[in-house]
């Protein structure tokens, strides 16, 4: 599979180059040259296949012969080694729990896949690489744990000072070894801007083999397609024999990589009728679908902090899928913006009515189901475990949030570098710290 730039279709790379470079050019992102359709037999077999078997079949065309079949199978098996259950909240409303991985967030899947792919290519070529990643919350911890002690790879994580939870921050700052966390005095958009400038700095790129672990990297967002296939596979088992009910999926959205992955899954033939792009106060994308004009805005801090992205990068990929036609996008995607008050009221309502605990991101997703068609099955993606936002959730519900059994308390010392959002200072740090 080859990949081209959304800004310049003549800029073409193979999978390995796309993964290593992260960004193809100053204004574009990598997209697959074509989106393969999966055969009807695959969809008929979905309920009988394991999560890893589905992942292998879905992702294999995007890698092709660049990774041998056995190695790729092992990469997928290691990536998808934890459960992603579909839980019924009530009636025909379900939560797809994406938080059962090591850092309790949906980004564990993409980060683990990317780490293993990059590690494989780095070992083959015997080169060292530096991964730069900006995070508004969960990406940083998932990437840090995914790459921890991976040979030939150093990771630098940038997060906005004071705008991630203590739980999220400690998951990034206590690892050490090949992981360095930097708090930036600014917003997530400032962090992302520093990363993008570094990628486009040829001196840095050539000297340190920089690459990205944000959803701008194809190996981060492509594995997220698997969620949707697995959700439908579980629905097919629940509704057996199949009732052919419409399926609507609400996606808590920040940088819109998850939504992009879902739209690719639909293009591959997966039967999802509508997506709901659930936004918090950062409403650039809902406004785009309403007005037909995309206008990125400065990010706004909210309780659902991993969604605090005012200039989401993956809108460029969505535009590439729909020829920048907001009316075409709106045929598959509905979108709405919801407040912190909506978030808290939803956590309270769902717990009191159904005894199900939502985190602040899943709460926005659940609230956005109000935009879905009334018929059919509705799924909201629960993208992080509520324990990561313990203070917010326990201020609303009467019971303590239970700590997952596979996660222990973290009392290790933190190692934090603090910088402002000035690029020359950041560049100097990268040079002197290598």
Active-site annotation, residues: 107
Sequence-distant (≥ 6) Cβ neighbours of residue 48 within 8 angstroms: none
Which 8-state DSSP code applies to residue 10? T
**Nearest-angstrom CA–CA distance, 260 and 241:** 30
Partners of 32 in the β-ladder: 3
Cis amide prior to 41 (ω within 30 degrees): no
- Residue 45 CB burial class (10 angstroms; 0-12, 13-18, ≥19): middle
Sequence-distant (≥ 6) Cβ neighbours of residue 144 within 8 angstroms: 103, 155, 157, 171, 172, 175, 179, 181
As given in the structure block, the two tokens for residue 134 are: 């900006």
CA distances from 206 to 201, 214, 287 (A): 9, 20, 39
Number of C-beta neighbours around residue 268 at 10 A: 18
**Nearest-angstrom CA–CA distance, 143 and 111:** 5
């Amino acid at each position: 599979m080859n990949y081209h730039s959304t800004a310049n279709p003549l800029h073409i790379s193979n999978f390995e180059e796309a993964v290593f470079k992260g960004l193809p050019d100053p204004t574009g992102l990598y997209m697959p040259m074509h989106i393969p359709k999966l055969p009807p037999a695959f969809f008929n077999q979905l309920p009988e296949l394991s999560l890893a078997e589905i992942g292998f079949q879905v992702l294999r065309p995007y890698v092709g012969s660049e990774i041998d079949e056995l190695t790729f199978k092992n990469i997928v098996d290691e990536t998808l080694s934890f459960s992603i259950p579909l839980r019924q909240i009530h009636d025909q409303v379900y939560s797809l729990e994406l938080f059962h991985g090591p850092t309790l967030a949906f980004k564990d899947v993409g980060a683990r896949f990317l780490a293993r792919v990059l590690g494989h290519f780095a070992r083959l070529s015997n080169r060292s690489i530096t991964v730069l990643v900006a995070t508004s919350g969960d990406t940083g911890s998932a990437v840090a744990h995914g790459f921890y002690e991976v040979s030939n790879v150093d990771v630098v994580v940038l997060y906005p000072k004071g705008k991630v939870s203590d739980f999220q921050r400690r998951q990034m700052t206590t690892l050490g070894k090949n992981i360095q966390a930097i708090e930036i005095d600014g917003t997530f958009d400032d962090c992302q801007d520093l990363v993008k400038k570094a990628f486009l700095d040829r001196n840095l790129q050539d000297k340190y083999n920089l690459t990205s672990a944000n959803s701008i990297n194809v190996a981060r967002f492509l594995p997220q397609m698997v969620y949707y296939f697995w959700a439908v596979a579980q629905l097919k088992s629940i509704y057996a024999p199949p009732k052919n009910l419409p399926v609507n999926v609400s996606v808590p959205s920040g940088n819109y990589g998850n939504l992009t992955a879902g739209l690719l899954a639909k293009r591959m033939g997966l039967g999802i009728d509508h997506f709901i792009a659930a936004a918090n106060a950062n409403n650039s994308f809902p406004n785009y679908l309403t007005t037909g004009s995309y206008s990125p805005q400065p990010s706004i801090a909210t309780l659902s902090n991993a969604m605090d992205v005012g200039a989401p990068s993956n809108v460029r990929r969505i535009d590439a899928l729909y020829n920048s036609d907001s009316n075409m996008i709106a045929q598959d995607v509905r979108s709405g913006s919801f407040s912190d008050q909506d978030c808290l009221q939803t956590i309270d309502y769902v717990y009191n009515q159904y005894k199900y605990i939502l985190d602040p991101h899943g709460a926005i997703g659940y609230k956005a189901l109000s935009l879905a068609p009334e018929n059919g099955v509705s799924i909201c993606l629960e993208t992080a475990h509520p324990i990561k936002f313990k203070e917010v959730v326990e201020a609303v519900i009467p019971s303590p949030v239970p700590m997952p059994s596979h996660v222990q308390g973290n009392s290790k010392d933190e190692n934090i570098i603090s910088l402002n959002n000035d690029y020359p200072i950041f560049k100097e740090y990268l040079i002197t710290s290598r």
